[in-house]
Amino acid sequence: MIFQMSDFIVTLNKKKRIIKIINEETVSIDNKIVSVDLSKVNDYLYLIKVGNKVYEITTTKLSNEKYSFLLDGHNFETTVRTNLKEKAVEYLRNKEKLTHRDEVTAPMPGLIVSLKKKKGDEVKIGESILILEAMKMENDLRSPATGIIKQVNFKEGDNVEKGAVILIIG
């Protein structure tokens, strides 16, 4: 699918629609051609004729790409982005997921008695990954996420302070 500058991605109720402005009287909504006639009453109120129906829409701009509108007594929020902007947002969302990392931190000062995993090992959420001795008690620290151990900052026999990042799961 080739997008033009007049193509927009409109998200309403978590559903994305491709809106293409063909000319002043015609738009395409998900490849369905629709005749429209838009009349601006004031800065917030519009009358829009779609086919044979006329709708009164009150709009409020919430941010650069978010709008709220009132149609037939129902309030809706929508996001309007160019296709390029939508692709950039999706890319950044996916990149954030790929670079997500969970840190395993020391809940209290103590001594690392046993490291059960090393860098590169796979770990599942809830799996025991190390034993931390604190106040003469052994504490079994478990993985907060499923992933791969990306970094180990301490070794067995090291003392750690409360909040120290012991290892990172990515």
Q: Tell me the CATH number at 79.
A: 3.30.700.30
Give residue-wise pLDDT tens across range 55-72: 999 999 999 899 999 988
* Domain assignment present for 92: no
Instruction: State how far the Cα of 151 lies from the Cα of 61, in Å rounded to an integer.
Output: 45
Instruction: Provide the edge-to-edge strand list for the sheet that holds 137-142.
Output: 137-142, 128-134, 110-115, 159-160
Total structural domains within the chain: 2
Same domain flag for 80 and 106: no
**C-alpha separations of 46 from 9, 59, 65, 117 in Å:** 21, 8, 18, 62
Q: What is the pLDDT at residue 2?
A: 46
Ranges in the chain, pLDDT < 70? 1-5, 95-100
**C-alpha separations of 34 from 5, 26, 28, 116, 155 in Å:** 19, 6, 6, 63, 66
Q: What is the pLDDT at residue 90?
A: 84
Nearest residue to 137 (alpha-carbon basis) of 167, 111, 99:
111
Q: What is the pLDDT at residue 96?
A: 59
Helix H, strand E, coil C: the string for 24-84 is: CCEEEECCEEEEEEEEECCCCEEEEEECCEEEEEEEEECCCCEEEEEECCEEEEEEEEEHH
Global pTM? Answer: 0.52
Burial of 65 (0-12, 13-18, 19+ CB in 10 A): middle
Q: What is the pLDDT at residue 97?
A: 58
* Domain assignment present for 93: no
Q: Tell me the CATH number at 162.
A: 2.40.50.100
Instruction: Give the other-Cβ count within 10 Å of 80's Cβ.
Output: 17
| Domain membership of residue 21 as a residue range | 7-85
